[in-house]
Structure formats: structure tokens, C-alpha cells
Structure 1
């Protein structure tokens, strides 16, 4: 049973948590900062980031946190955020690709892609690519990318990534989270080929009470609880992410998720389903992301 009490001293380490102002992202950033890490709170706007910073410092005046703006729906914002990090920091021990959007009304990113695919996957792909040189030179660094249990029921529709044909909010959400998992797996494969020592670790937090449900009706939420069981609190959902970020037991090539069918419980390592392991799909998705973002790594 792994809990926050198992987090080792993180003093001297620098970490980034995207979407750190609420839900699982905030809980993750808080625990890492309380363990001594210097945590960059990467949020969609400065107010959200500053609010998160102040809440953490109310808990501990010694917490070392930095508020920063990262709008994953705009690749220009991603580039500017990464540029600032590279100019102001000499190491990056952990990048946590946590931020996400779920089941919104049909919306496009600044570059014209369906919002969930753009924010959850493309934005994090670009961010990881820009920051990879700093991760590579930091001994023992990790890239933690969040997926969802819904990935098991998804596939990548390469013909509909701009909602050219149709839009289904839950289908697109699951697709974006499958893309995240494929990304983590493919990144791990490419890192291995290159011989770098960076870890690429995938995780999914289970069923949680977070702002990701804000676009669902009360009836839809009630149906989800009936189907999946009681939703966890955000601090519980953050455990899998924290395990991936700091535990020596976390390894590349596996998925870390709550131990009770992936919906509730404590962090556990499980095998990834075949739909996220297809190398042809992984290669195609990677090359598409390179084409869209203009970033080639590792």
C-alpha cells in the first residue's frame, strides 16, 4: 500500500506539473513541493497559477513553487513556456503531463484541432519535445504522462482529428487519452533506441471527483457512479501520478493505476492493453505530431 508517506525527500529536484491549479494536478504539485521539490505550476492563466501557489504556501511557507502560464490549446504558448523554463532552469527532474480537458462542447485549438486531442495530446507532445534536452541532461529524469481507463475503448481516427466528420465528446476524450498512452509507450521505445536514461512512465488516476466532470450532467455523473462505483477524492487519484514521479518501483513500459480494476485504490503496475501497443499506430501518431508541431525528438 503506497501512500504519500512513502515519498522520499525531493530537495534539490525541479519538477513541472501541468494543470497544477486544481484537482489531481494541484494535489500532485502540493505533495511534491511539501516533499522539498521545486515545483513549477504550469497553468492556463496566471491567476490560476498564482492562486495555486498561494494555497500551497498557506500550507507550508517553506514550499518552493513557481507560478507560470501554459496554455496547451495554443502551440505558441507551449513554445513560450518551454523557452522560459530553458532560460531560467539548469535541470528538470520530472515533467508531469497532467493537464486535461474532458467532454466539452465542440471546440478547436488555436491550430484548428479538436480541443481534447489538441490539449491532452498535442500540447503535451510539444512541451515534452521542447524540454527533452533539459530532461536528458538531468540524471534520473522522468516524463509522467496521464491517460485514462477509457483508453481501452478507444481508437485513433486519423481522418477526424479536426472533427471534420463528426464530434462525440466522450469518444474524443477517450481517443485523446489513448493518444497519451501511445505517446508514452512510443517515447519509451524511442528513448531506448537512442540510449538515453530518461524514463517515460504512463499513469491513469481512476475515477475521481474533479473538474473534468463539469461538462457532464448530474444524470450522467450519477450513471457513472452507478457503473464504476464511488469516485475517489483528488488526493487519492494523485497517488498513481506521485508514485510514477518518485518511486523507485515505477518503470517504463507499464501503466500505473489504482489497484481496484483501475478505478479506486492504491498505485499498482499493470500491463497495457494491445490497442495502445501497436507499433504501426504509434509510429503514425508520432510522425503526425511531429508534422503538426514541427518538433522532432528524442
Structure 2
């Protein structure tokens, strides 16, 4: 019998369920938002630019979308977003940690953290830990953290997380995606040990055509990824969002799983369960990254 190949059409009815999606005004985040709203879900778009966010979802039913400001590199913004959700919503069913920055020149945030590590990992760490109470009150609650197949190319540079001793834009991007994978798995271990109803699931989109390759990268990297890579290799964002949509909505998903495309090299295709790298699975890496992240985000509370 031919195995069923999941698509967004297989998302169940989401009426009455709430989802928060970071980076939701474009690319994978917008594709995820549209697919969830099309099935009746209420989506809270967590975006840096509220005006752009509202424009992106102008065609969707207003009762299905709620656009709110969130800057993942700003502890005060994370606080305000989490406090606002707690004040306005009794629960949150799913958090999709989707936002990302790719390949900029070395940049430090006002807090002194390398930009990609801060935006892609630390901000999501802080946001997730702030929202666990709301999620615990949710129905089939999940945290979906979006990593990448390039996490397998990276090692955590715990002794130089700011790139002071050496920085390559894509090398630090790969490391931030490894941090996402380590975090998602460590969160699963901690939630399980605590008896929490919240499931932590990982997903990656393969190689998908989004604004990420051209908005953040520069020079030859921008030329290769944006102009040639997207045209020749990438799948549309709507398909790239399938793994995270599957992770967020499929009734059979359980904590600790990693969902990615089923095609060659996990670059494109339909959602399937894939295996993280050995470094992502390493429990010592998980413990160490968690401790580093707690110290780095202490101002968030």
C-alpha cells in the first residue's frame, strides 16, 4: 500500500485552538499562519513590524489573526509580549518558534550577544520559558522550534559565542540552528521530567525559498543562496512550512520528535520523522546550553 504523503490539506479542524508564530509576517511564518487560519485556528503573529504584519494578513478573517510586536533581541519586548498574552488569553495551545536571521556581518545586540545566536536561539529560549504557564493550560499544547538541516554542520562554540575570536556569517548561522535543536531536545527532557503536558517538538523546512536568504545575507552568500540557490533547489515557502505545520497540528506527534522533509538530503518533500545530529542529542550539550541561556536571558525574568 502506498504511504500517505502529508500536506497542509491534512491539517485537522483547528477551531478553538490558539497558535503564536514568531516571524509571521513573511516566508515560512506567513505560510504557517495562513495554513493555520485556513483551518479555523486563531494565530497570534509575533512580529517586529506590526504595520507589515497587518498588511501581510489583510486578506485573512480578522477574528483568526492577532498581530503583536515582538523583538526577540530585546528582553523588554519579550516581557511585554508575554505579559500581553497572559493578560488577554487564558491559554496558548501551540508556540511556533519560527523567526530567524541568516548570515549578517558580525553584529552584537545591545546586550552584547551575537545577533544570530540572540535572535534565533536566546530570544526563543526566553519567550518559551515565559509562556510555559499559558501553554500548560492549553489543549494538546506544544512548542515547535524550527531548526535546519545545516545544524548537522555545526559545533557549539561555548568558549566564543560572540564570535570575538573568529566569525563567519554562515558558520554562526549553522551554530544557531544547532542551538535550536539542542534546546528543543533539552526542553523535551525537562518537560518530561516535570510531568508537564507540554510537548517540545523540532522541525526543519529543508531548503525553502523565503526572504531569509536575501534579507540578511550579504555578498557572495546572498548571490548564491538568494538568486541561484532559490531558483534551482528551493521549494516554495508553502511547502517548506509543512514540517512545522505537521509538528504543530498532527495528532500523532509526540515530544522529542524532529520533523523534516522526506526528499533527498532532507532538502524538500513531505513531512517525516528525521534524526538530529549527535551533538544535538548530547545531553551534556543540552545542560550546558540551558545554563548559558538562563544566564544570558536573566534580565527577561
TM-score (norm 2): 0.92
| Aligned pairs (5 A) from 1:187-202 | 187-202=187-202
Quote the residue 1:39 is aligned against.
43
State the match for 2:102 in structure 1: 102
Gap change, CA 1:219 and 1:95, over 3 Å in 2? closer
Aligned pairs for 1:48-67 (under 5 A) are 48-54=52-58, 56-57=59-60, 61=61, 64-67=64-67
Partner of 1:208: 208
State the Cα deviation string for residues 99-138 of structure 1 (Å, max 9, x = none). Answer: 0000012212231101000000000000001100111122
Out of 268, 273, 290, the position equivalent to 1:264 is 268
Quote the residue 1:279 is aligned against: 283
State whether structure 2 residue 218 is matched by structure 1 residue 218: no
- Aligned equivalent of 1:123: 123
- How far has the Cα of 1:225 moved from its partner? 6.3
Q: How many residues in Structure 1 have an aligned counterpart in Structure 2?
A: 291
CA distance in 2, matches of 1:271, 1:3: 21
* Residue matched to 1:248: 251
Q: Which runs of 5+ in 1 are unaligned?
A: none
Distance 1:42 1:171 in 2: 27
CA–CA distance in structure 1, aligned partners of residues 228 and 191 of structure 2: 41
Counterpart residue number, 2:75: 75
Does the 8 A contact of 1:95 with 1:142 survive in 2?
yes
Cα deviation 1:161-220 (Å, max 9, x = unaligned): 122212110000000000000000000000111011111000000001111111233245
- Distance change (3 Å), C-alpha of 1:265 and 1:220: closer
Contact 1:184–1:200 (Cα < 8 Å) also in 2:
yes
Task: Please give the alpha-carbon distance, in whole angstroms, between the structure 1 residues aligned to 2:62 and 2:44.
Answer: 15
**1:257-276: CA deviation from partner (whole Å, max 9, x where unpaired):** 00012101000011222110
Report Cα offsets for 1:69-91 as digits up to 9, x if no partner: 00011122111111111111111
Name the counterpart of 2:178: 178
Q: Structure 2: state its 5+ residue gaps.
A: none
CA deviations on 1:224-247 (whole Å, 9 max, x unpaired) are 469xx6210100100001000000
The whole-number CA distance in structure 1 between the counterparts of 2:247 and 2:153 is: 24
CA separation in 1, counterparts of 2:224 and 2:241? 26
1:254 CA displacement: 2.1
Q: 1:75–1:217: structure 2 CA closer, same or farther, 3 Å change rule?
A: same
Report the CA distance between 1:222 and its aligned residue. Answer: 6.1
Mean Cα deviation higher: 7-16 or 214-223? 214-223
TM-score, normalisation: structure 1? 0.93
Flag the 1:45–1:62 CA change in 2: closer, same or farther, 3 A.
closer
Q: Is 1:11 aligned to residue 15 of structure 2? A: yes
Out of 232, 237, 260, the position equivalent to 1:234 is 237
